[in-house]
Amino acid sequence: MIYTETEISGVWIMEPNVFADARGYFMEAYKKTEFEQKIGQVDFIQDNESSSTQGVLRGLHYQLEPYAQSKLVRVIQGEALDLAVDIRKGSPTFGKYIAVELSGENKRQLFIPKGFAHGFYVMSETVVFTYKVDNPYMPAHERGIRFDDPVIGVDWRIIQGNVVNTSEKDRQAPGLCDAEINFEYKK
């Protein structure tokens, strides 16, 4: 596995070694000891899977402390633009984002630590995401930031004229300046 820390400290792109032949392929998607040597200890407690259709935009989502979640996300079918937005107060990269194309073909993964909002846009006909989390889903602690907030200025790479399908909850989310955030940057 190749681990590459992005320009935002704590966010990592992971690229597995894929062994392919005429029969198919094999890869290690996660190896705890290697992950902890490169990134640090994260106690993943649950694996989730979601499916979405082309044009779906989900996010930007996060959970407040003490139920904040670190996530290790990957696409097993299709292609999506995946995002992590730094929402740690006092961070030198507060409000900045990392965008990575994840696909069943490139098999990249994105590690998103606590203190980041997460979202994705489906670029293929369908997409199947799988992701590990280190805290359970707690609806009372779930929050969001508007996906088109001009302060963040995400380039979702949406082709002009394409329909964006997002939830009413995501359309009504506040901008970054008005969002409830309880994360502090720690050096």
61 is catalytic: yes
118 among known catalytic residues: no
- The 3-state DSSP class for residue 159 equals coil
Strands 57-63 and 142-144: antiparallel
Find the catalytic residue in 61, 62, 97, 121.
61
Which of 62, 121, 131, 141 is labelled catalytic?
A: 131
Q: Which own/partner contact pairs does 92-96 have at CB distance under 8 Å and 24+ positions apart? A: 92/185, 93/7, 93/8, 93/9, 94/185, 95/151, 95/152, 95/176, 96/8
- Please choose, from the candidates 59, 74, 175, the residue with its C-alpha nearest in 3D space to the C-alpha of residue 127: 74
> Cα(79)–Cα(147) distance, rounded to whole angstroms?
19
* Alpha-carbon gap, residue 181 to 65, rounded angstroms: 9
Active site residues: 61, 131
